[in-house]
Structures are given as C-alpha cells and as structure tokens.
C-alpha cells in the first residue's frame, strides 16, 4: 500500500450518514470512508445492520461486517419512531451526504424521502439505492443483488452451453451498483461545491449498472435480432478465450482479445504457420473456427504442467493468468509487492486481512484505519459532537428506546 507522507486525506471534512443496510449502499460509504470522509453508520438499536449476522462468522462475528464497516463510526437510532426520524433530520443538517436503501414508500411514511427533505436540507446529496429504481411499476418492490444479476441479463449469458443460467457466487450486482453510486456522489459534490449548485438526489438501482456492462448483448439483439446465449467460458467475439486445465490439474485462463496477442498463441503452442492462414489469423474468420482453435489450445495445455504452460505463454507474451483460490490470491507475489491486501488489528478477531482501498492515489491514498465497530460504539460521541446533545438528553433517548 502506498504510504501518504503528509497524512492528507482527500475527503477529510466530508460528512456522510450511512443509514442503509446490507451491501450496495453501505459499500458506498465504505469507499468514501477509506479516503477520509467522516462516516456515521446509523443502525437500529436492537440488532443493528443485518450485515452483522450475514455470511461467514467467526466466534459470532460477521466477517463481511468487519470489512464493509471499516473506518465508520456507529450510532443507533430507531427510525420507526418520530424521535428517531427527527434525529436523522438533525444529523442530515450537519452532513454532506446521506445514504438510504429503504423502500420509497417507507421513507415517505417516515418523512425521510427526498421530497420531504430537499427544502429543509437544500445542501444535501441524497443517495437512494433500491432494487429497481424509482419511477416504474417495480419501484417499491423489495429485492437483492441476485434479482439484479438475473434482470440485467448477466445470468442469462453466464453458464455452460445448454445449462441453466448461472448466478455469481459473490455480490456482483451490489458491488457494481456501489461503484456507480460512488462516482455519482462525487459528481454531485463537484456540482455543488465547485459549480455553485445545490444538493440533489441520486437514484441508483441493482439492475441498470450491471446491465450497462452487458451492453454487447443488447447491441447484438437490437441490430441483429440475436439473443446471446451461454457458451461456458468462451466468448462469441474473440478466440481463443477460455479456461484450460493443465496436466497437473491446475487451471489457467487465456484471452486473445487483441489480434496481435491471439496470433502469439500459435507460436507458443508450436503452430507458427497458422499466423499466415487467413482462417486462423483474421479476427472474424477465427470465430468461424473457434471450436478447432479452442481444442488445439486445450490439448496443448492438457499435455503440460502448470509451470510449463505459464512459462511458455509468458515468454511469448500471451495474455494468460492462473485461476486462483483465496489462498493462492493472498500468496501471489505481485499482490504482496503491491500490498493489495492489508492486515488490520481488531479487538474482536485479533487481526484480519482485508482488501486494501482501490484505486491508488499517489498524494492522498486511501487507508484502512479500523474494522467494523460494536453496535452503537460512537452513539454518545456523535450526538454530542454533531448535535450538541447533553448527557441527560441522551439518557432520555436511551430510556425511550430511540437510541
């Protein structure tokens, strides 16, 4: 990880309220917190964010919670009560960004929807991430990333030919949506702070950001009337491109997306004469011989060990990479040299290795200062420092179950 000698934080002074739960919306606040924003995670007093109990746990501690809640302060507020709703409005008056993923009808009922807040909080960047986005018949339906992965077109094109649509084994739609929401937030802040504009609402859902990355399928259908089908690990627009098993039962991937790199494969597998054969050299004609080319490469790889394959392809400057499991990923020399993963001390787990901030900034790099904290760990501090509440007022809120 690149060290920051002057300790400058790019987003220092930016205040963010993370009043969301689970993955996509809270991830936005995580990314902002890595670069210095003061992020306050608002949770229900009883149980907190569902992410605390989601996924793999160790000693009752949710591992994803520890990572996604990194660098955040945590305070509680019962948004189902009028007092809790008012606390959020008061905090929003002191914040730059507020993040929700609650259904529109619920936010409207609570008086925390954008229309209810825009006049009293004209400076506020209001980020709302939902399953389907606002304005259509599905606006108020509940949903998770799995639905986005299906409705975006991703699952339809993923999987073995003739097999079922295949879902990813990780939160793909949530992750893509969160990245879109981060840059949207920075655009809105730029408009507000450098262009003299006011606050505004950002509407992001779990379908459209991933669908944007599947544009090839839409273009193909719109212009040619063809629905792209599942082809396993092959791709209809380039060959060779697949996963290949080595003699010693390791897996590698190869991509011939650039014509010059695709032609290097022939030399690497001992068939340099094919470079001068149009059927194998021309990018479009290669697609007509995809089965033959793929089988040729697979047979060559299958007859050699992983080390032999990697050495040969690397020497010939073929775009090749190993297929890693988690242990191999962490042990990779390149990732170790770059500090891709960082080990962070933690009072609950002792320490945990997590993905470091992405991307890398030379002058103001992100950092992981701490992992997710206990429920309500900063409640009194936040309500005192942000809102000026006295100890007796905080005690009354606690007694009433508001915090």
Band of pLDDT at residue 192, cut at 50, 70 and 90: very high
Judge whether 238 lies within some domain. Answer: no
Band of pLDDT at residue 14, cut at 50, 70 and 90: very high
Predicted pLDDT at 260: 85
Q: Is 174 a catalytic residue?
A: yes
Provide the number of structural domains found in the chain: 1
Judge whether 272 lies within some domain. Answer: no
Task: Give the span between the Cα atoms of 72 and 160, in whole angstroms.
Answer: 41
Cβ distance 375 to 65 under 8 Å?
A: no
Distance of CA 283 to the CA centre of its chain: 33
Judge whether 50 lies within some domain. Answer: yes
Kindly report the pTM of this predicted structure: 0.93
Judge whether 233 lies within some domain. Answer: no
* Residue 2 pLDDT exceeds 70: no
Predicted pLDDT at 251: 97
Average pLDDT, the chain: 95
Angle at which helix 172-194 crosses helix 24-34, to 10 degrees, equals 50
Average pLDDT score over residue span 91-116: 97
> Could you tell me which residue, 388 or 234, shows the higher pLDDT?
388
From residue 88, alpha-carbon distances to 92, 93, 367 in Å are 6, 9, 28
Q: pLDDT tens digit string along 177-191?
A: 999 999 999 999 999
Judge whether 317 lies within some domain. Answer: no
Judge whether 293 lies within some domain. Answer: no
Predicted pLDDT at 152: 97
* Residue 3 pLDDT exceeds 60: no
Average pLDDT score over residue span 109-132: 97
Judge whether 90 lies within some domain. Answer: yes
Predicted pLDDT at 198: 96
* Residue 125 pLDDT exceeds 50: yes
* Residue 350 pLDDT exceeds 70: yes
Task: Give the span between the Cα atoms of 228 and 86, in whole angstroms.
Answer: 50
Task: Give the span between the Cα atoms of 49 and 22, in whole angstroms.
Answer: 7
β-strand pairing of 97-100 with 125-130: parallel
CATH code of the domain containing 53: 3.40.50.10540
Range of the domain at 84: 15-212+361-399
- 3-state helix vs strand vs coil in the chain, percent to 5: 40, 15, 45
Judge whether 175 lies within some domain. Answer: yes
CA angle 238, 324, 332 (to 5 degrees): 115
Q: pLDDT tens digit string along 244-282?
A: 999 999 999 998 888 888 899 999 999 999 999 999 988
* Residue 236 pLDDT exceeds 90: no
Catalytic residue among 113, 174, 203, 378: 174
Predicted pLDDT at 6: 59
């Amino acid at each position: 990880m690149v060290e920051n000698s002057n300790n400058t934080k790019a987003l220092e002074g930016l205040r963010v309220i993370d009043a969301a739960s689970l993955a996509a919306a809270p991830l936005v606040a995580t990314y902002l917190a890595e670069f210095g924003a003061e992020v306050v995670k608002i949770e229900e007093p009883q149980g907190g964010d569902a992410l605390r109990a989601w996924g793999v746990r160790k000693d009752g501690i949710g591992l994803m919670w520890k990572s996604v809640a990194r660098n955040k302060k945590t305070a509680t507020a019962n948004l189902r009560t009028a007092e809790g709703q008012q606390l959020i409005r008061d905090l929003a008056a002191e914040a730059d960004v507020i993040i929700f993923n609650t259904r529109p009808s619920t936010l409207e009922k609570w008086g925390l929807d954008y229309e209810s807040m825009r006049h009293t909080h004209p400076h506020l960047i209001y980020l709302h991430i939902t399953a389907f986005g606002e304005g259509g018949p599905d606006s108020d339906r509940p949903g998770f990333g799995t639905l986005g992965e299906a409705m975006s077109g991703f699952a339809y094109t993923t999987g073995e030919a003739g097999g079922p649509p295949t879902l990813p084994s990780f939160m793909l739609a949530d992750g893509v949506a969160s990245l879109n929401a981060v840059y949207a937030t920075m655009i809105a802040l730029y408009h507000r702070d450098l262009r003299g504009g006011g606050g505004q609402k950002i509407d992001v859902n779990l379908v459209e950001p991933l669908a944007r990355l599947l544009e090839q399928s839409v273009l193909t259908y719109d212009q040619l009337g063809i629905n792209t089908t599942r082809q396993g690990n092959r791709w209809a627009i380039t060959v060779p491109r697949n996963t290949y098993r080595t003699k010693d039962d390791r897996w590698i991937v190869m991509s011939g997306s650039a014509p010059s790199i695709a032609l290097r494969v022939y030399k690497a597998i001992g068939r340099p004469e094919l470079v001068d054969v149009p059927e194998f050299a021309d990018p479009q004609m290669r697609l007509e011989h995809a089965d033959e080319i793929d089988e040729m490469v697979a047979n060559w790889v299958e007859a050699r060990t992983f080390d032999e394959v990697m050495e040969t392809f690397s020497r010939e400057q073929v775009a090749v990479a190993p297929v890693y499991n988690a242990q191999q990923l962490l042990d990779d020399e390149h990732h170790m040299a770059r500090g891709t993963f960082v080990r962070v001390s933690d009072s609950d787990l002792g320490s945990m290795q997590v993905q470091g901030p992405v991307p890398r900034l030379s002058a103001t790099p992100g950092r992981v200062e701490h992992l997710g904290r206990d429920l309500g760990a900063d409640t009194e501090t936040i309500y005192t420092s942000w809102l000026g509440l006295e100890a007796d007022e905080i005690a009354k809120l606690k007694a009433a179950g508001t915090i």
